[in-house]
Amino acid sequence: MDLASKLEKLSLQLVQKQDYLYSVTVGFERLESLLLSFLNEFGYITLDSINCRDDLEDGFFTITYCLQTKDRDHVVMVQTKIQRENASLPTMHTIWPQAEIMEREMHEMFGVDFPGHPTLIDFALEYWDNMPPLRRDFDTLEYVNSMNPFREQRGDALDAKEEMKKKREAKKAAKLKAQQEAEAKAALEAKNNPSDEVKNEE
Protein backbone atom coordinates (compact mmCIF):
# COMPACT_ATOMS: atom_id res chain seq x y z
CA MET A 1 0.00 0.00 0.00
CA ASP A 2 1.10 3.48 -0.89
CA LEU A 3 0.51 4.90 2.55
CA ALA A 4 2.77 2.29 4.14
CA SER A 5 5.80 3.42 2.17
CA LYS A 6 5.03 7.06 2.88
CA LEU A 7 4.83 6.30 6.56
CA GLU A 8 8.01 4.28 6.42
CA LYS A 9 9.83 7.41 5.38
CA LEU A 10 8.66 8.91 8.62
CA SER A 11 9.86 5.69 10.29
CA LEU A 12 6.32 4.71 11.25
CA GLN A 13 4.73 1.35 10.66
CA LEU A 14 1.31 0.80 9.17
CA VAL A 15 -0.46 -2.24 10.57
CA GLN A 16 -3.42 -3.81 8.85
CA LYS A 17 -5.97 -4.78 11.47
CA GLN A 18 -8.98 -5.82 9.45
CA ASP A 19 -10.06 -5.72 5.85
CA TYR A 20 -10.65 -2.01 5.75
CA LEU A 21 -8.84 -1.00 8.89
CA TYR A 22 -5.23 0.10 9.36
CA SER A 23 -3.52 1.51 12.35
CA VAL A 24 -0.38 3.49 12.98
CA THR A 25 1.11 4.25 16.38
CA VAL A 26 2.96 7.46 16.93
CA GLY A 27 4.63 9.20 19.83
CA PHE A 28 2.77 12.04 21.45
CA GLU A 29 5.27 14.69 20.38
CA ARG A 30 4.85 13.83 16.69
CA LEU A 31 1.05 13.48 16.78
CA GLU A 32 0.06 16.93 15.63
CA SER A 33 2.50 17.02 12.73
CA LEU A 34 1.49 13.52 11.66
CA LEU A 35 -2.20 14.40 11.69
CA LEU A 36 -1.45 17.48 9.63
CA SER A 37 0.51 15.49 7.10
CA PHE A 38 -2.31 12.92 6.97
CA LEU A 39 -4.68 15.75 6.16
CA ASN A 40 -2.53 17.75 3.77
CA GLU A 41 -0.21 15.23 2.14
CA PHE A 42 -1.87 11.83 2.29
CA GLY A 43 -5.39 13.01 1.53
CA TYR A 44 -7.09 11.78 4.69
CA ILE A 45 -9.48 14.69 4.91
CA THR A 46 -12.20 13.25 7.15
CA LEU A 47 -11.80 13.01 10.88
CA ASP A 48 -14.30 10.32 11.71
CA SER A 49 -13.89 10.18 15.44
CA ILE A 50 -11.52 10.77 18.29
CA ASN A 51 -11.68 8.31 21.09
CA CYS A 52 -9.88 7.67 24.27
CA ARG A 53 -9.18 4.44 26.10
CA ASP A 54 -8.17 4.37 29.71
CA ASP A 55 -5.32 1.91 30.27
CA LEU A 56 -5.38 2.31 33.99
CA GLU A 57 -2.92 -0.47 34.77
CA ASP A 58 -0.20 1.03 32.55
CA GLY A 59 -0.98 4.59 33.57
CA PHE A 60 -1.77 6.15 30.22
CA PHE A 61 -4.62 7.02 27.91
CA THR A 62 -4.61 5.62 24.39
CA ILE A 63 -6.00 8.22 22.02
CA THR A 64 -7.24 7.09 18.62
CA TYR A 65 -7.94 9.41 15.71
CA CYS A 66 -9.93 7.65 12.99
CA LEU A 67 -9.25 9.16 9.58
CA GLN A 68 -10.78 8.51 6.20
CA THR A 69 -9.93 9.57 2.69
CA LYS A 70 -12.28 11.11 0.17
CA ASP A 71 -13.10 7.62 -1.12
CA ARG A 72 -14.08 6.42 2.33
CA ASP A 73 -12.99 2.92 1.49
CA HIS A 74 -10.81 2.36 4.52
CA VAL A 75 -10.13 3.75 7.96
CA VAL A 76 -6.76 4.57 9.42
CA MET A 77 -6.45 4.74 13.18
CA VAL A 78 -3.70 7.06 14.35
CA GLN A 79 -2.96 6.06 17.91
CA THR A 80 -0.92 7.71 20.57
CA LYS A 81 -0.38 7.34 24.28
CA ILE A 82 -0.50 10.14 26.79
CA GLN A 83 0.06 10.18 30.52
CA ARG A 84 -3.04 9.80 32.64
CA GLU A 85 -1.95 12.44 35.13
CA ASN A 86 -2.60 15.97 33.85
CA ALA A 87 -3.44 14.58 30.44
CA SER A 88 -3.34 17.18 27.72
CA LEU A 89 -3.77 17.05 23.95
CA PRO A 90 -3.41 19.61 21.16
CA THR A 91 -6.82 20.77 20.01
CA MET A 92 -7.79 20.03 16.43
CA HIS A 93 -10.89 22.18 16.20
CA THR A 94 -9.25 24.73 13.93
CA ILE A 95 -8.52 22.04 11.36
CA TRP A 96 -11.57 19.85 11.78
CA PRO A 97 -14.59 21.74 13.18
CA GLN A 98 -16.21 18.55 14.41
CA ALA A 99 -13.22 17.96 16.70
CA GLU A 100 -14.58 20.69 18.93
CA ILE A 101 -17.47 18.60 20.16
CA MET A 102 -15.50 15.38 20.31
CA GLU A 103 -12.84 17.06 22.41
CA ARG A 104 -15.45 18.63 24.63
CA GLU A 105 -16.89 15.21 25.27
CA MET A 106 -13.47 13.73 25.94
CA HIS A 107 -12.67 16.55 28.33
CA GLU A 108 -15.78 15.81 30.30
CA MET A 109 -15.58 12.06 30.25
CA PHE A 110 -11.84 11.56 30.74
CA GLY A 111 -10.59 14.88 32.06
CA VAL A 112 -8.21 15.38 29.16
CA ASP A 113 -7.30 19.03 28.79
CA PHE A 114 -7.18 20.78 25.45
CA PRO A 115 -5.26 24.07 25.69
CA GLY A 116 -6.74 26.62 23.31
CA HIS A 117 -10.11 24.93 22.98
CA PRO A 118 -12.83 27.61 23.01
CA THR A 119 -15.77 25.76 24.55
CA LEU A 120 -14.68 23.30 27.20
CA ILE A 121 -18.08 23.54 28.87
CA ASP A 122 -20.42 20.84 30.10
CA PHE A 123 -21.42 18.35 27.46
CA ALA A 124 -23.94 15.91 28.88
CA LEU A 125 -23.32 16.02 32.63
CA GLU A 126 -24.42 19.24 34.23
CA TYR A 127 -23.01 20.22 37.62
CA TRP A 128 -20.88 17.12 37.77
CA ASP A 129 -18.29 17.46 40.53
CA ASN A 130 -17.02 13.92 40.75
CA MET A 131 -14.12 12.38 38.89
CA PRO A 132 -14.51 12.25 35.06
CA PRO A 133 -16.82 9.28 34.79
CA LEU A 134 -15.24 7.27 32.00
CA ARG A 135 -11.93 6.94 33.80
CA ARG A 136 -11.76 3.37 34.89
CA ASP A 137 -11.04 4.13 38.51
CA PHE A 138 -14.49 5.69 38.77
CA ASP A 139 -16.65 2.94 40.22
CA THR A 140 -20.19 3.15 38.90
CA LEU A 141 -21.65 0.69 41.34
CA GLU A 142 -20.20 2.45 44.34
CA TYR A 143 -21.41 5.80 43.06
CA VAL A 144 -24.90 4.52 42.42
CA ASN A 145 -25.06 2.87 45.84
CA SER A 146 -23.96 6.08 47.51
CA MET A 147 -26.52 8.14 45.61
CA ASN A 148 -29.61 5.94 45.62
CA PRO A 149 -31.10 3.81 48.38
CA PHE A 150 -32.18 0.35 47.32
CA ARG A 151 -35.60 -1.02 48.01
CA GLU A 152 -35.47 -3.35 50.96
CA GLN A 153 -38.03 -5.80 49.66
CA ARG A 154 -35.58 -8.22 48.12
CA GLY A 155 -33.83 -9.19 51.33
CA ASP A 156 -34.85 -12.83 51.09
CA ALA A 157 -32.48 -13.63 48.23
CA LEU A 158 -30.35 -16.67 48.87
CA ASP A 159 -26.86 -17.39 47.69
CA ALA A 160 -27.30 -20.37 45.43
CA LYS A 161 -23.72 -21.56 45.90
CA GLU A 162 -24.17 -21.62 49.66
CA GLU A 163 -27.48 -23.38 49.28
CA MET A 164 -25.93 -25.94 47.02
CA LYS A 165 -23.16 -26.53 49.54
CA LYS A 166 -25.69 -26.70 52.34
CA LYS A 167 -27.84 -29.14 50.47
CA ARG A 168 -24.87 -31.23 49.49
CA GLU A 169 -23.74 -31.32 53.09
CA ALA A 170 -27.22 -32.10 54.25
CA LYS A 171 -27.35 -34.89 51.75
CA LYS A 172 -23.98 -36.12 52.83
CA ALA A 173 -25.04 -35.90 56.44
CA ALA A 174 -28.25 -37.69 55.65
CA LYS A 175 -26.30 -40.33 53.81
CA LEU A 176 -23.90 -40.63 56.71
CA LYS A 177 -26.74 -40.84 59.10
CA ALA A 178 -28.45 -43.46 57.01
CA GLN A 179 -25.22 -45.36 56.84
CA GLN A 180 -24.77 -45.12 60.57
CA GLU A 181 -28.31 -46.18 61.13
CA ALA A 182 -27.83 -49.06 58.79
CA GLU A 183 -24.68 -50.02 60.60
CA ALA A 184 -26.38 -49.69 63.92
CA LYS A 185 -29.23 -51.72 62.65
CA ALA A 186 -26.86 -54.32 61.31
CA ALA A 187 -25.05 -54.35 64.63
CA LEU A 188 -28.34 -54.64 66.40
CA GLU A 189 -29.35 -57.41 64.10
CA ALA A 190 -26.03 -59.12 64.63
CA LYS A 191 -26.63 -58.80 68.32
CA ASN A 192 -30.08 -60.13 68.01
CA ASN A 193 -28.99 -62.94 65.74
CA PRO A 194 -29.04 -65.59 68.41
CA SER A 195 -32.69 -64.88 69.08
CA ASP A 196 -33.54 -65.38 65.45
CA GLU A 197 -35.78 -68.28 66.11
CA VAL A 198 -37.88 -66.35 68.55
CA LYS A 199 -38.28 -63.54 66.07
CA ASN A 200 -39.27 -65.84 63.32
CA GLU A 201 -41.88 -67.40 65.46
CA GLU A 202 -43.30 -64.04 66.20
Partner 1 sequence: MAIDVKGVLSPLSAIGTLFEHPRTLTYPEVKKDIPIGYRGFHINNLETCVGCASCEEICMNDAIDMIHPDKEYNVKNTSGCIPRIDYGRCCWCSLCTDVCPPGSLKLDNICTHADCDPDNFLYMPKNHKNIGEEAS
Partner 2 sequence: MKNNLKNTIKIFHGPQHPGITGNMSVELDLLGETIKRAQTHVGYLHRGFEKLVERRTVVQAFTIVCRICVPEPDPNEENFARAVENLAGLEISEKAKYIRTMVLEMQRLATMFLWMGGQAGSIGLGLIPQWSVCDRDYMLDLFEELTGGRVYHMYAFPGGVRRDLPEGFLDKLSDLLDYYEKRIIVYNNTFFDNVIFKKRAIGVGVVNRDEVLKNGYVGQTMRACGIQKDVRKDMPYLMYDKLDFDIPIQQDGDVYARAIVRRDEMLQSIRILRQIIKQMPKEGDILQKIPKHRKFKLPADDTYVQTESARGAMSYYMAGDGSEKIRRMQVRGPSLVHAYTLLEKLLVDSELADVAMTMNSLGICPPEIER
Residues that bind partner 1 (CB under 8 A): 151, 153-154, 156-161, 163-164, 167-168
- Binding residues for partner 2, rule CB under 8 A, total 45
Beta strands 75-83 and 60-68 are: antiparallel
CA dist 188 and 190 (Å) reads: 5
Beta strands 46-55 and 21-25 are: unpaired
CA 92, 94, 96, 98 dihedral sign is positive
CB of 169 to partner 1, least distance (A): 12
28 or 138: whose CB is closer to partner 2?
138
- Integer angstrom CA distances of residue 60 from 63, 66, 112: 9, 19, 11
For residues 183-192, b (16+ Cβ closer than 10 Å) or e, as one string? eeeeeeeeee
121 or 190: whose CB is closer to partner 2?
121
Given partner 1, partner 2, none, residue 161, with its beta carbon under 5 to 8 Å by kind, binds partner 1
Query: Based on C-alpha coordinates, what's the Rg of the chain?
Result: 34
By the rule CB under 8 A, 18 interacts with partner 2: yes
20 or 186: whose CB is closer to partner 2?
20
| Element at 25 (helix H, strand E) | strand 21-25
By the rule CB under 8 A, 120 interacts with partner 2: no
63 or 175: whose CB is closer to partner 2?
63
* Contacts with partner 2, residue ranges (CB under 8 A): 17-21, 23, 45-49, 51-55, 62, 64, 66, 70-75, 77, 96-98, 100-102, 105, 109, 122-126, 133-134, 136, 138, 140-141
